[in-house]
Structure 1
Amino acid sequence: MAAVLALVGALFLGSLGDARAATPAPASSSVPSPASSGAADRWSDRPHGFASLAGGTTGGAGGKVVTVTDQASLAAYAAAPEPYVIRVQGTITAQPFGASVTVASDKTIVGVGTGGELVQGEFHLAPGTHNVIIRNMTIRDSAVEGNWDCKDTDFDGIQMDTVHHVWVDHNRFSNICDGQLDVRKDSEYITVSYNRFENNNKTFGLGWTTNVRTQITIDHNWFANTKQRNPSVDNAAYAHLYNNYLTAQVDPGDPVWTYGNWSRGRTKMVIENSYYQDVQHPYQADATAELVQRGSILRNTSGRHDAWGAAFDPREFYAYRLDPAAAVPALVKKFSGPQKRIGVALRVPADHPTVQAAVDAVPAGNTVPVTIAVAPGTYREKVLIPATKPNIVLQGTGQDRSDTVIVFDTPAEYGGSTGSATVRIAANDVTARNLTFSNDFDEAAVELKGEQALAMKTTGDRIVFEDTAFLGNQDTLMTDSPKLDVISRVYVRDSYIEGDVDFVYGRATTVVERSVIRALSRGSDSNNGYITAASTWTGNPYGFLITGSRIVSDAPAGTFHLGRPWHPGGEPNAVAQVLIRDTWLPAAIKSSPWTDMSGFSWKDARFTEYHNRGPGAGVTADRPQMSDTAARDHTVADYLAGTDGWAPYARH
């Protein structure tokens, strides 16, 4: 059970991982030296084991992402010559019964959530196919009623012949005729992990060849209510089986053809830390084969328990994490088969050279979150997430947000305020984590008419920034909406924002929580700038909320404003609303912290404080304080709920 708890604690770290070589090597009977990296995280979007060797298996990485809901679209994209990441949404019932979907090279097929299904059909990988990933799918119900042996049909779940570099992961196979998974005819560099094989006769076979070429890793799979081939491995050069769970066989009374693992022909097989419960012939080997078993647990087993020969040492080929056999039933029951958290990760720069190229690969009208995993480094580019591409997660994969920086240096004079933004987010439902956004235009070095230089501008709704940094001077972070009377919401948490003039501004409802805001000194002994410049629509009761945060500054005491009211173009219905509460204020904050702007009085805006502290805090006639009663209706939840009950803070 300790292993299960440790696994749960590590889950969040898994789905991204580091970059890897993207070009598979041609098929070869030789096996390279061990991979230099350690064992893959459990939720990595890259394979481990033999599929990670000889160039690795990347599937459709670098190709477009598409979502399919019907057989014709699935078949067209799967057979296309170019790389694709194909998301299967909902159930696709193949016609005619038992129909094959041909999968060409350089493809990733992944089920959306836990609902991606291929019913009464087969994925077929023809000879020469390589670099294929099939994940998170349910493949079921191609068995013909009353035809248990399936002698006259060949309706497999996945069938591959003479292929190389294939990863079959987190799928569920059920009630298929005949093989749920057939790896045939000299296929090489295969990994089969975290799948559920259930309710079947001939479950999982390898071989159909006299050659001894196949290298395969089989780990963390659950075989339940299956009769034979769990798996049967014929003439494999190397078969590494570990942490699998076999239980509840069908027809255990058959003295020969009900069995667990079988090392056949000249196979070299290693079994480690697996768990066999209520299994007949849990593992067996031909006299010509080799089988090494260590660390497994057997409960209520009978029949053959063969072990002879030296086989091979898997650690000479790759690193892997071996779970205790006692933990296997709980681990495999919980984490095998389709999982909600498995999705699509577009890696920068491993799959796409720039962040914008990865954004461009996301399909328009996207309805399911797509992660763009950005490796540590500095990306000097401008990025636009258009309104047509919602549900994107920008995720830095470094240890710290400063490890991954998106930066450019355009000032407003060369493209206007919007055009100066390093990153623009016009889409809804976008999240950014563990990243730094910067505009490093040097306002002191160049004398221009406009010194605005945005690091980030948002106009979309339901935007989340977690553990992010925004670096700039004037107008660092603009949170806006498509037009004055449209309300967009932005949540900034555990982040860092720096600037000098109006560096948190716009009309979106914006919450900054548990963050650090640095007010930069411009060298003045009287006025060094303004933190906020809200332009909240008068019909919106919630503008900016800064709460539970810390404002810091190296500016002289009494030289910085908390904010001023921005009325773009003199718009009278843009009436700023700003509440700063439960926040530490530095000595740099003026004793009269709010000020007029462009002829509009701060006293006509909605500026308030509540329970602030620090040397810059205070209560005077020029510092309106919110009442306890009103403060109860001005919480993070109140600002963000809207009409749809949005609560991004609830994820923490």
Structure 2
Amino acid sequence: MPYPWSKRLPGRALAAVTALVAALGLATVSPAGAAGAAGTAGAVADAGPPRTAHPSGPRWAEQPHGFASLAGGTTGGRGGKVVTVRTQAELAAYASAAEPYVIRVAGSIAVEPFGSSITVASDKTVIGVGTSGEIVHGELQLKPGTHNVIIRNLTLRDSYVEGDWDGKTNDFDGIQMDSVHHVWIDHNRFTRMGDGLLDVRKDSQYVTVSHNRFDDHNKAFGIGWTDNVTTQITIDHNWFSGTKQRNPSADNCAYAHLYNNYLSAQVADGDPVWSYGNWARGRTRMVIENSYYDGVQHPHQADATAELVERGSILKGSTGRRDEWGTAFDPRAFYSYRLDPAAAVPALVTRFSGPQRDLGTDTVLDVPAAHPTVQAAVDAVPPGNDGAVTIRIAPGTYREKVRVPADKPRITLQGTGRNRSDTVIVYDTPNEYGGSSASATVLIAASDVTARNLTFVNDFDEAAVELKGEQALAMKTTGDRIVFENTAFKGNQDTLMTDSPRLDAISRVYVRDAYIEGDVDFVYGRATTVIERSLIRALDRGSATNNGYVTAASTWKDNPYGFLITRSRIVSDAPAGTYHLGRPWHPGGNPDAVGQVLIRETELPAAVKSSPWTDMGGYSWRDARFSEYRNHGPGAGVTADRPQMSAERAADHEVADYLAGHDGWAPHRRHLP
């Protein structure tokens, strides 16, 4: 039998989406813009500006709601490793494994033989990457006893066998589950399968089915196949379009809560019985709220043995049974939820149901809820990671070393507290025990890594322990395209090292709205580094003549851009005239390391020396590339020992010049008005 229908959006739906989304609180959030450190009070050093939202598109829930959230909740593969699959063999292996996994489906996977099942075992998240993830010609099957499974953002399609309209010959469902519990089916599309699109069977419990599309099919969504009255299920914000029956059919459900679903373009084949919308069968107790029925025959019906309560729905061009009897149950006695107005449902559901391009592209790992330490979360990221991973770190102090290896790019470390001081990663190893890489509390060797709303500390007490090497790094980076936003770095000597894998390799680091403290060479290395709108505190070592050095650049001689400190504020409690702005570092005496530092449009304290640059290791500061431009404050000045960059040259030393490189990288642009 051919598919005798076409799908249409409701009139003016697209035009109404934006207004409806905004009115319902689903609009994207614009950044408020954290205040810069320049001109701020000293207290900002500890807390930092409150964390602000970043533009991110619609906010998809990362945890299930409804019945799947009860009795311990549904977490899927949380706590397991993240893997990306592109073949049937890979998907089958990881989905059936005993241990938890977050399985990202990238691209279309054609299942062979036609109509075959892929078993999904307990403790799994299977999620499509953007709109690319597809399971074609096959089904996902959850066998009896399976529990704690999340299936999201996939398209499951095309196991329909021509002529088998009723699915009597081939039992090729989209997803089939028997006697399972705690399952969340969310933001998927089911179309043209061999039998049912989704079957929840045989006493399955604690299930939520949300934001899915069911289309172009006879039997959409069935629940039951049991004499027991056991199943608890939440069904919300789904779009049933071009389907004939089971939208859903719910047999012997203890509790079936349906709200904000949209039923449209029902198959019009003249069948007086088996073309219907929602059906409460057997002894089901069903509650329907604020749904929208457009052109549906028998929009909601119930057996005499069932109970069905309906409230707030809209019926347009719908005919036939509209049964309501009994008291059913009160969903709010089980969980809280928010109802959207029924009039808004067509626009909202057509826009936000089914796979979304922003889902599955950013895997979220929670510390310590899913992973006990930050390093454990990093370890869960696959080598060669090709998807964005956000490691959300709850407020607290994490005494550990963290290593992000070079083969794990595209990671974001995100503190979830209100201020950066709420979430601290700290350790106390000095340089003498293994050099800069071993001493660093956090080492980022990967590229495309971002850290936000965090504090990094090396609390080695140099006064209490006498060592040859007292350097103790809070942070070292060697990767390219590293971003620090609203972060703090605390230490003494060598607090923040931004480096590259080798002298002639150029890595770029962007630091904004940060707090950095230390005393000797506490901002140093050879990476091209921009520090913008930040507060830099030069600590007092108790000397009347020399309390330290802010920078120690080792820029490669052929790299025109080293350190840029701009629109920031340097503060110090040290006596006047006791601090250097920097000195040239030549690692191993290498003459090709010719430091470049520009400090521009920045407030300088009285602690800065009148001759602020000095020699290092036998190399003259005058042979380095040190300069200032339009600085201010009590420590600013223009003398023969303070090279000033001309306005003409300064035009080529803006933030964009330092960061653009060969690929036009521009992380600063997200902050531009």
Contact 1:11 1:42 in 2 (8 A): no
Distance 1:207 1:141 in 2: 24
1:589 partner amino acid = V
Aligned with residue 287 of structure 2, among 258, 270, 284: 270
Contact 1:586 1:615 in 2 (8 A): yes
Which protein has greater RCO, CA pairs closer than 8 Å, 6+ apart?
2
Whether 1:401 aligns to 2:420 is yes
- Residue 205 of structure 1: aligned partner: 222
CA offset at residue 651 of structure 1?
3.7
1:580 partner amino acid = I
CA offset at residue 490 of structure 1?
1.1
1:352 partner amino acid = H
Task: Mark the CA change 1:326 to 1:503 in structure 2 (over 3 Å): closer, same or farther.
Answer: farther
Distance 2:489 2:102 in 1: 32
Whether 1:531 aligns to 2:550 is yes
- Residue 312 of structure 2: aligned partner: 295
2:582 partner amino acid = G
Aligned with residue 363 of structure 1, among 371, 378, 382: 382
CA offset at residue 419 of structure 1?
1.0
SS at match of 2:196: coil
Name the stretch that deviates more: 464-473 or 628-637.
628-637
Whether 1:493 aligns to 2:512 is yes
1:627 partner amino acid = S
Contact 2:363 2:387 in 1 (8 A): no
SS at match of 1:50: helix
- Residue 61 of structure 1: aligned partner: 78
CA offset at residue 206 of structure 1?
0.7
Aligned with residue 633 of structure 2, among 587, 610, 614: 614
1:58 partner amino acid = T
CA offset at residue 2 of structure 1?
5.6
Distance 1:226 1:649 in 2: 49
CA offset at residue 42 of structure 1?
5.0
- Residue 27 of structure 1: aligned partner: none
Task: Mark the CA change 1:263 to 1:578 in structure 2 (over 3 Å): closer, same or farther.
Answer: same
Task: Mark the CA change 1:73 to 1:618 in structure 2 (over 3 Å): closer, same or farther.
Answer: same
Task: Mark the CA change 1:249 to 1:553 in structure 2 (over 3 Å): closer, same or farther.
Answer: farther
Aligned with residue 319 of structure 1, among 325, 336, 352: 336
Q: How does 1:454-533 map to 2 (within 5 A)?
A: 454-533=473-552
Distance 1:87 1:534 in 2: 42
Q: How does 1:137-536 map to 2 (within 5 A)?
A: 137-251=154-268, 253-342=270-359, 343-536=362-555
- Residue 540 of structure 1: aligned partner: 559
CA offset at residue 66 of structure 1?
1.6
- Residue 21 of structure 1: aligned partner: none
Contact 1:205 1:233 in 2 (8 A): yes
Residues 135-194 of structure 1, C-alpha deviations (whole Å, 9 max, x = no match): 121111111234332221111110001100111112122222221111011100011112
Name the stretch that deviates more: 181-190 or 582-591.
582-591
Contact 1:11 1:43 in 2 (8 A): no
Task: Mark the CA change 1:350 to 1:335 in structure 2 (over 3 Å): closer, same or farther.
Answer: same
Distance 1:439 1:142 in 2: 58
Distance 2:576 2:287 in 1: 71
CA offset at residue 507 of structure 1?
0.5
2:74 partner amino acid = T
Task: Mark the CA change 1:237 to 1:443 in structure 2 (over 3 Å): closer, same or farther.
Answer: same
Contact 2:436 2:476 in 1 (8 A): no
- Residue 33 of structure 1: aligned partner: none
Distance 1:325 1:373 in 2: 35
Task: Mark the CA change 1:10 to 1:296 in structure 2 (over 3 Å): closer, same or farther.
Answer: farther
Distance 1:573 1:260 in 2: 75
Contact 1:3 1:323 in 2 (8 A): no
- Residue 13 of structure 2: aligned partner: none
Whether 1:120 aligns to 2:137 is yes
When the two chains are superposed, the root-mean-square deviation of aligned CA atoms in Å is: 2.0
Distance 1:319 1:587 in 2: 58
CA offset at residue 422 of structure 1?
0.5
Residues 520-576 of structure 1, C-alpha deviations (whole Å, 9 max, x = no match): 222223322211111110111111112222222222333222211111111111111
CA offset at residue 353 of structure 1?
1.4
Distance 2:398 2:90 in 1: 35
Distance 1:522 1:96 in 2: 73
Q: How does 1:98-109 map to 2 (within 5 A)?
A: 98-109=115-126
SS at match of 2:576: coil
Aligned pair count reads: 625
SS at match of 2:421: helix
SS at match of 1:373: strand
- Residue 26 of structure 1: aligned partner: none
Distance 1:447 1:489 in 2: 35
- Residue 591 of structure 2: aligned partner: 572
Distance 2:315 2:548 in 1: 72
SS at match of 1:280: coil
2:587 partner amino acid = P
Residues 240-282 of structure 1, C-alpha deviations (whole Å, 9 max, x = no match): 1222222222227433322222222111112222233333332
Task: Mark the CA change 1:11 to 1:347 in structure 2 (over 3 Å): closer, same or farther.
Answer: farther
Distance 2:30 2:352 in 1: 11
2:339 partner amino acid = L
2:563 partner amino acid = F
CA offset at residue 95 of structure 1?
0.5
SS at match of 1:442: coil
- Residue 34 of structure 1: aligned partner: none
Whether 1:85 aligns to 2:102 is yes
Contact 2:498 2:525 in 1 (8 A): yes
CA offset at residue 11 of structure 1?
9.9
SS at match of 2:521: strand
Whether 1:553 aligns to 2:572 is yes
SS at match of 1:190: strand
CA offset at residue 346 of structure 1?
1.8
Whether 1:627 aligns to 2:627 is no
Distance 1:277 1:585 in 2: 68
Task: Mark the CA change 1:11 to 1:511 in structure 2 (over 3 Å): closer, same or farther.
Answer: closer
Task: Mark the CA change 1:198 to 1:622 in structure 2 (over 3 Å): closer, same or farther.
Answer: farther
Task: Mark the CA change 1:196 to 1:630 in structure 2 (over 3 Å): closer, same or farther.
Answer: farther
Contact 2:28 2:59 in 1 (8 A): no
SS at match of 1:644: coil
Contact 1:75 1:101 in 2 (8 A): yes
1:249 partner amino acid = Q
Distance 2:295 2:631 in 1: 65
Distance 2:368 2:30 in 1: 24
CA offset at residue 475 of structure 1?
0.7
Distance 1:330 1:582 in 2: 50
SS at match of 1:402: helix
Distance 1:602 1:499 in 2: 21
SS at match of 2:95: helix
1:542 partner amino acid = Y
Question: Hey, which bits of structure 1, 4+ residues long, moved more than 4 A?
Answer: 10-13
